[in-house]
Amino acid sequence: MTTPYVEQFEAAAEAAAKDAPSWLPALRKKAFERFTTLGFPTTRDEDWHFTSVTPIAERTFKAIKPATTTLTLSDLEAYLVDPEWHRLVFVNGKLEPALSQFAGLPADVQLAPLSEVLKEEPDWAKRHLGSLAAFDKAAFTAMNTAFMQDGVVLRVPKGEVVDVPIHILHVTDANAAGAAIHPRLLVVAEALSSVMLVEQYVGLGSVSYLVNAVAEIVVGNGARVDHYKVQNESTEAFHVGTAQVTQGRDSIYHSFSFASGAALSRTNIYTKLADTNSEARLNGLYLLDGSQHGDHQTFVEHLAEACASRELYCGVLDGQSHGVFNGKVYVDPIAQKTDGKQTNKALLLSPQARVDTKPQLEIFADDVKCTHGATVGRIDEMALFYLKSRGIGGESARALLTYAFAAEALETIEIDALRIALEQRVFERFTHTQLV
């Protein structure tokens, strides 16, 4: 039901219009009208066939009123992958300058709150905001566009290489109970530039809330964007995240999604290979337990010649959890010499755990090399027997084999500090010991 949000939107629109550029209220209104027309998706929608959002649709999440936080850096120490990274910290949707640090960025790189860019560069923002994240058929994207609070704008100029990762940390605490947070991310990497971005979502305590995030990423000619997303929300929370990407000639977009939190989560990664010799690498790992539901959707559009895409998604499921992977690759008739490979693997640790996987290829060119594969199974009994025959206990053997399965995806992470941190987390989860 979208009706309960009408009053919220009217109040939010009135408040936001005071400082907004003239074009923004119209964009918000159009998005909200589309949201109310579409309604929340149901399992009758093909893209949501295996994921019911009834737990989200049946309640009304309130608009949050961010207050000054009492959190300190020491409270967030466990989530600061590297304290030396450039960092923006949002608590309950509000930027906390005292917890952030990015003054060391090159002078011509723009990293700023969305609210600031809307005030100071409204014409530039108008050209880019909403240009990729289409909401005609996407209810959650429409909802974000209508209600987006603050977010991040990252603009990397031509030829600039940012060699220190940028860490965007979204934190929710008890003050977010029952609220909805709609963060927005806008990245424009101009020609021949390079940047590494780590987008992290953390929930403190067992609090129920909704995070509905949207990212728009432009990868210019010869540019490279490494985009890592770590989702570790409260296990009572709901998370929907969408990244829409467009890639220019000779560009590289590398995405990695790590999901271990939220009662229900959905991650959408959509990229368009719009010019020749561009490359997309979409990888991910999801760890589910209890009654968690995790859904990953990817859509790679090959729209030009000689482009490549690689996908590897692995899932480890225990308890009564449910995982979903739906990967679609579209090859346009003009996209000759396309090279695409998609792999999805799932390991079931419990008889009650289940996974639905749906690889899709739509190929309309004749000179292509495209493959896909999906495997779902349990721990290899022969490998388990081998380890036990070498004196390793049954529980330890299972834990080591599970970690080894997950490590295949983790090895695709090219930021050493992040890979080591996630390896440690995964190893501790399965073995209950620290990785030396």
Q: What is the pLDDT of residues 95-146, one digit of tens each?
A: 999 999 998 899 999 999 999 999 999 999 999 999 999 999 999 999 999 9
Mean pLDDT (whole number) for 359-383: 91
Alpha-carbon gap, residue 89 to 36, rounded angstroms: 32
Asked if residues 287 and 406 have their Cβ atoms less than 8 Å apart, the reply is yes
- A 10 A CB-CB count for 113 gives 18
Calculate the alpha carbon distances from 23 to 33, 92, 119, 153, 225 in Å. 16, 26, 12, 18, 29
Alpha-carbon gap, residue 317 to 227, rounded angstroms: 25
pLDDT of residue 64 exceeding 90, the answer is: no
- Label residue 434 by pLDDT band (50, 70, 90): low
Residue among 281, 270, 268 nearest 411 (CA): 281
Q: Identify the residue whose tokens are 């589910």.
A: 288
| Cα 340 to the center of its chain, rounded Å | 22
- Pick the range with the lowest mean pLDDT from 166-175, 336-345, 394-403, 413-422: 394-403
Alpha-carbon gap, residue 272 to 293, rounded angstroms: 28
Mean pLDDT (whole number) for 223-244: 97
Using alpha carbons only, what angle is made at residue 184 by residues 181 and 185, rounded to the nearest 5 degrees? 145
pTM: 0.95
Give the amino acid at 268: N
- A 10 A CB-CB count for 7 gives 11
Alpha-carbon gap, residue 175 to 169, rounded angstroms: 17
SS (H, E, C) the chain: CCCCHHHHHHHHHHHHCCCCCCCHHHHHHHHHHHHHHHCCCCCCCHHHCCCCCHHHHCCCCEECCCCCCCCCHHHHHHHCCCCCCEEEEEECCEECHHHCECCCCCCCCEEEEHHHHHHHCHHHHHHHCCCCCCCCCCHHHHHHHHHCCCEEEEEECCCCECCCCEEEEEEECHHHCCEEECCEEEEEECCCCEEEEEEEEEECCCCCCEEEEEEEEEECCCCEEEEEEEEECCCCCEEEEEEEEEECCCCEEEEEEEECCCCEEEEEEEEEECCCCCEEEEEEEEEECCCCEEEEEEEEEECCCCCEEEEEEEEEECCCCEEEEEEEEEECCCCCCEEEEEEEEEEECCCCCEEEEEEEEEECCCCEEEEEEEEEECCCHHHHHHHHHCCCCHHHHHHHHHHHHHHHHHCCCCCHHHHHHHHHHHHHHHHCCCCC
Alpha-carbon gap, residue 186 to 219, rounded angstroms: 11
Q: How far apart are the first and last CA of the chain?
A: 50
pLDDT of residue 436 exceeding 60, the answer is: no
Q: Partners of 248 in the beta sheet?
A: none
- Pick the range with the lowest mean pLDDT from 199-208, 282-291, 307-316, 426-435: 426-435
Can you give the pLDDT at residue 293? 98
Can you give the pLDDT at residue 394? 77
Mean pLDDT of the chain: 93
pLDDT of residue 17 exceeding 80, the answer is: no
Can you give the pLDDT at residue 67? 75
Mean pLDDT (whole number) for 377-384: 82
